[in-house]
Structure 1
Amino acid sequence: MLEVLHVTFPFFALVLCGFAAARLKLLPLEAISGLNGFVLFFALPCMLFRFGAGTPIAQLLDAGVFFTYLFCALVLVAFSIAVSLNGRIRWNDASLGALVAAFPNTGFMGVPLLVALLGAQAVGPAIVTIVVDLVITSSLCVALSRMDAAGEQGTVVAARKALAGVLRNPMPWAISLGAAFSYGGWALSGPVNATVGLLADAASPVALFTIGAVLARSQMLSHERPHGPLRMGDYLPVALIKLVLHPLLVLLVGLTAIQWGVPIEPFALQVIVLVAALPSASNVSLLAERLGADNGRIARIILVTTVAAFFTFSGVVTLFQA
């Protein structure tokens, strides 16, 4: 366990640094959007491209991993919405809550953390989960979030907007371009490759620092929420679903799929279970704010899962190494 904490501690410490910088006003809240933009549009795409280009194409097109992880994501979304819907939490809030329950922080935190723990071979399965979460899970939850007042036509419009958002997200394009380079055996020219490498190397520390700053900003602005006092029952069950049910479901479904003859490598199953054990994706808070959901609730779920994952994620890693 101590050896695992030696690896995981720096990642969570950087999140804490970002949180402290925002809380102590060393980092202006207005600057957080700039950091987020740098990570999302420059550093992270370069990191994903580099990993994708260096990963065998067969790992990036692993259908067993794709459909196993997708099935678990759909079950988790349905279950989270079912347990969340009530007189106060309607489709918008329940759907965005389901997204934080099913969408791990794989891009900003998971890929560099898994590479540090398991080596570069962990990239392939992790990238497959990113594609599922960005393209399918996010689009589904955004479409479902419009069901309160939009009706069937509004839901279709929301689905189209969600798909448009996916197309504008640089991460799927970076993964696709990296996969094309992997398949073709191509390589960037020296100066271009060096530039991409510099941006890729900046992705992990800046992304982790930004996660902390985003969480601090959400907590600092939580008093402005128009939904009344936040109850523990509004966010704690979803946090438990994310940290406990999600990895357990992926493990059980993956083992069952292997028993039925689905070609999933044990190492790939380990990777996607660890992905599921990650805390919730911090960018869902920005999405919730844009869609008019209860961002205080979403931010609290993300904060709880991020703090608790230092122990729960390290515990899952220790169990695999036992």
Structure 2
Amino acid sequence: MNLLLTVLEIVAPVFLLAGIGFAWVKLGFEYRLQFVTRLAVTLAVPSLIFVALMQTQIPPGELTRFTLAAITGHVGLAVAFGVFVRASKLERRTYLAPLIFGNTGNLGLPLAIFAFGQAGLGFAVIFLAVTALFSFTYGIYLVAGKGAFGKVAREPMVWATLLGALFLWQGWQTPVFVTNTLDLLGQMAIPMMLITLGVAIARLTTRKLGQAVWLSALKLVVCFALAWAIAKGFDLDKVAFGVLVVQMCTPVAVTSYLLAERFEADSDAVAGLVMVSTLMSVGALPIILAIVL
């Protein structure tokens, strides 16, 4: 009973905030998605990442091991789903990226901090940075047929992670007034991302729900099994283990839909994956948290 209550306390704020965004749009209120998203990824999330890493008490060696595990997880998913997409004759540029990349920002970060505290957030931002690195290069290559390696160098989240890791390694701290400012900016990130997720889901439409159901279920099973094996293989401690599993099991990211629409892949099919996998996560993520806690 205590475990059930703990899990509900973790997941309820996450899905309630997303529900607020969903209801906001359905009630007809204005929400400038592009502006809010840019504000989040340019200021709020990088500030959260930098401060979380700078102030974390996680030893650098553990962060290095977790980073290698996160990279291995992404490569493993790319190989496994690459083989699946080829064997099932699905369109590679439409389906492979959504199957690989999860919503490690909007859902992964809030779940990590609510479930595992500041230490969990430190691990989660590393996973998010790895996801961003892969999605802005290999992910765009899959959809567009070309990479966007220059975009990685201009991505604030990547620089925030590198600088945060440097400050952690050297034991540096920014002046108190700078830290307080960045901390305030970072506090916007989680509620902003969750509400924005709800808004984005509310605006999606699709006619391909049937296929999305079994693909979303397959993604969840493969991600859980692979994450568990990798976490065991790297001998991660309990917090790092839990964060890796939760991050790899997050649903399809809304950015996958935006990329499909931008580069003229089958955006309707990707919208279905986003919607179904997100709804599926409402039931699946509490179970996963109960297993790893």
What TM-score does the superposition give when structure 1 sets the normalisation length? 0.81
* Alpha-carbon distance change, 89 to 248 in structure 1, aligned in 2, over 3 angstroms: closer
For the 8 Å contact 2:103–2:252, the answer to whether it is kept is yes
Q: CA deviation at 1:59?
A: 4.1
1:111 maps to what in 2? 109
* Alpha-carbon distance change, 62 to 190 in structure 1, aligned in 2, over 3 angstroms: closer
Would you say 1:310 and 2:287 are equivalent positions?
A: no
Equivalent of residue 125 in structure 1, options 112, 123, 126: 123
* Alpha-carbon distance change, 63 to 184 in structure 1, aligned in 2, over 3 angstroms: closer
Would you say 1:212 and 2:190 are equivalent positions?
A: no
Aligned residues: CA RMSD: 2.4
1:188 maps to what in 2? 174
Q: CA deviation at 1:73?
A: 2.0
Paired with 1:265 and 1:320, the residues of 2 have a C-alpha distance of 11
2:73 maps to what in 1? 72
Q: What SS does the corresponding residue of 2:286 show, helix, strand or coil? A: helix
Would you say 1:230 and 2:170 are equivalent positions?
A: no
Would you say 1:296 and 2:274 are equivalent positions?
A: no
* Alpha-carbon distance change, 246 to 264 in structure 1, aligned in 2, over 3 angstroms: same
For the 8 Å contact 1:62–1:125, the answer to whether it is kept is yes
Paired with 2:57 and 2:98, the residues of 1 have a C-alpha distance of 30
Equivalent of residue 163 in structure 1, options 146, 149, 169: 149
Q: CA deviation at 1:88?
A: 8.4
What TM-score does the superposition give when structure 2 sets the normalisation length? 0.88
Q: CA deviation at 1:209?
A: 0.3
2:241 maps to what in 1? 269
Identify which range, 264-273 or 198-207, moves more after superposition.
Answer: 264-273
Paired with 1:60 and 1:212, the residues of 2 have a C-alpha distance of 37
Report the residue type matching 1:230 in the other structure.
Answer: K
Q: What SS does the corresponding residue of 1:275 show, helix, strand or coil? A: helix
Q: CA deviation at 1:271?
A: 1.7
Q: How many residue pairs get matched?
A: 290
* Alpha-carbon distance change, 287 to 123 in structure 1, aligned in 2, over 3 angstroms: same
Summarize deviations over 1:137-171 as a string: whole Å, max 9, x none.
Answer: 5422322334xxxxxxxx5xx12xx2122222211
Report the residue type matching 1:232 in the other structure.
Answer: G
* Alpha-carbon distance change, 168 to 292 in structure 1, aligned in 2, over 3 angstroms: farther
Q: CA deviation at 1:268?
A: 1.5
Equivalent of residue 6 in structure 1, options 9, 15, 18: 9
Q: CA deviation at 1:100?
A: 2.4
* Alpha-carbon distance change, 72 to 186 in structure 1, aligned in 2, over 3 angstroms: closer
For the 8 Å contact 1:104–1:276, the answer to whether it is kept is yes
Report the residue type matching 1:253 in the other structure.
Answer: I
Identify which range, 266-275 or 38-47, moves more after superposition.
Answer: 266-275
Q: CA deviation at 1:277?
A: 2.2
Summarize deviations over 1:205-236 as a string: whole Å, max 9, x none.
Answer: 111000111122222xx4xxxxxx52622x22
For the 8 Å contact 2:60–2:169, the answer to whether it is kept is no
Paired with 1:267 and 1:274, the residues of 2 have a C-alpha distance of 11
Q: What SS does the corresponding residue of 1:26 show, helix, strand or coil? A: coil
1:22 maps to what in 2? 25
1:151 maps to what in 2? none
For the 8 Å contact 2:58–2:119, the answer to whether it is kept is no
Which segments of 5 or more consecutive residues in structure 2 lack a partner in the other structure?
A: none
1:199 maps to what in 2? 185
Paired with 1:143 and 1:308, the residues of 2 have a C-alpha distance of 28
For the 8 Å contact 2:97–2:143, the answer to whether it is kept is no
Q: What SS does the corresponding residue of 1:62 show, helix, strand or coil? A: helix
Paired with 1:78 and 1:70, the residues of 2 have a C-alpha distance of 12
Alignment of 1:242-281 (within 5 A): 242-255=219-232, 257=233, 262=234, 264-281=236-253
